[in-house]
Chain A
C-alpha cells in the first residue's frame, strides 16, 4: 500500500555532487488519513481510501460529511482510494505520511492536466502548420478531413479541434530523488500533470519496474 495524496508546489532544480543538474517537481504530500478500508468479502475488492487536507464542514457535501464522521476524521478536501491485491494492513484512522517513500523509489503521479479550453489541431494533436507566406491562408487549419463521394462521410475518431486539457493524466515511472519528512515534501524527478497547487496522487509505479 503506497498511495499518498498531495499538492504539486512547483518545479526547481537539484545539484548532484558532480555538478549535474536535475529538474524536479516538489509535491507537498500528506499527512493523509485512512477514511475507509475495503475487503474482498464485504466490498468485492480490496482497497484503502485516503483523505487529504481538512476543510470546513460547510464546504463539503452532506453525504460526504457523514462518511467522514463514520471514519472519525475531519472533513477532507481530496478523497481517493488505492486498489490492493491483499486485504489492507491499515485501519481506519491511521495516518499515511511521506515516510513510506524512500529516495530512489519509482512512482506514478496522477493529476488533472492544465485546461487549454477549445484548442486547435496543432496544440491538441500536434498537427503541422501550413506555410505562413506565399499567399497561404492555411496556417493553422487542419487540412483535409477525408475523401469524397466514397466514403462520403468523415470517419469516426477523426482528430479535430475541441476541448483539450483539464483531464486526468498519469505520468509513469518517475523517480523520487529526495524525501523531506519534516515538511512532508517529495522531490520527484521530471514534470507532473497539472498547475501549481493542483491536487495529485503519488503511488508506487505499477509497471516498468524491474523486480528485485
Chain B
C-alpha cells in the first residue's frame, strides 16, 4: 500500500458515516460555545457526495425560514459525530443541484422503499452491533493486558 494511503488509514474513521444522495439525514456536529461543547443537529437533504477516502464530504441542504442553507461536512472530520439517515430518497441524479432552483413542495424527494432498502438497513444495524461488540471486546482485551502488566510490575515495586 502507498504511504499516503497508510497515513490516511490511520487518521480516518474506521467506519465512515453512511449517506446516499437524496437521503434526509441528521448530522450530529460538535460545536463550541465558549468553553462548553455541545452537539448541534443539522437536518436536511443530501444533495451531493464528493471525494474519496479521507476527503469524502456530503453537502446537506435545508430550508431555514424560507432561505436555502447548505453545509458541507467532511465525513472523516473530528467534529462530525454521526450521520443518521432518517429517510432514504429515490433520486435519478448523482448531484441534486436542481434543488437550488426549487421552492416549496417541489423540493421534496420521494422516499426510497422496498426490500433492498430494508435489507441494507438490517445489514447496517447488524454491522453496527458487530462493530460495537468488537470494540467492547478490544477494550476488554486492552484492560486485561493493562492488568497483566500491572501484576508484572508489582513484584518489582515491592
List chain A positions with a Cβ less than 8 A from chain B: 9-15, 17-19, 21, 26, 28, 185
Contact = CB atoms under 8 A, between A and B. Distances in A.
Given A10-B2, A10-B3, A26-B3, A15 B8 contact: no
Given A12-B4, A13-B54, 19 more contacts: A9-B4, A10-B2, A10-B3, A12-B7, A12-B8, A12-B54, A14-B11, A15-B11, A15-B76, A15-B77, A17-B78, A19-B30, A19-B78, A19-B79, A19-B80, A21-B74, A21-B77, A28-B3, A185-B7
A170 B66 CA distance: 50
A26 B8 CA distance: 11
Contacts of B50: none
Contact of A19 (B2, B4, B54, B77): B77
A28 B76 CA distance: 24
B4 A18 contact: no
A185 B6 CA distance: 13
Interface of B: 2-4, 7-8, 11, 30, 32, 54-55, 74, 76-80
Contacts of A11: 4
B78 A15 contact: yes
A9 B74 CA distance: 23
Contacts of B4: 9-12, 26
A41 to B, nearest CB: 43
Contacts of B78: 15, 17, 19
Most chain A CB within a 10 A radius of its CB, from B30, B76, B79: B79
- Give the secondary structure class of B's interface: mixed
- Give the secondary structure class of A's interface: strand
19 contacts: A9-B3, A10-B3, A10-B4, A12-B4, A12-B8, A13-B54, A15-B11, A15-B76, A15-B77, A17-B78, A18-B32, A19-B74, A19-B77, A19-B78, A21-B74, A26-B4, A26-B7, A28-B3, A185-B7
Contacts of A19: 30, 74, 77-80
A18 B79 CA distance: 7
Nearest to B51: A13
Nearest to A21: B74
Nearest to A7: B3
Nearest to A180: B7
A13 B55 contact: yes
Most chain A CB within a 10 A radius of its CB, from B7, B54, B76: B7
Nearest to A16: B78
The 8 tightest CB contacts between A and B, nearest first, are A19-B79, A10-B4, A19-B77, A9-B3, A12-B4, A15-B78, A15-B77, A12-B8
Contacts of A15: 11, 74, 76-78
A14 B30 CA distance: 18
A152 to B, nearest CB: 55
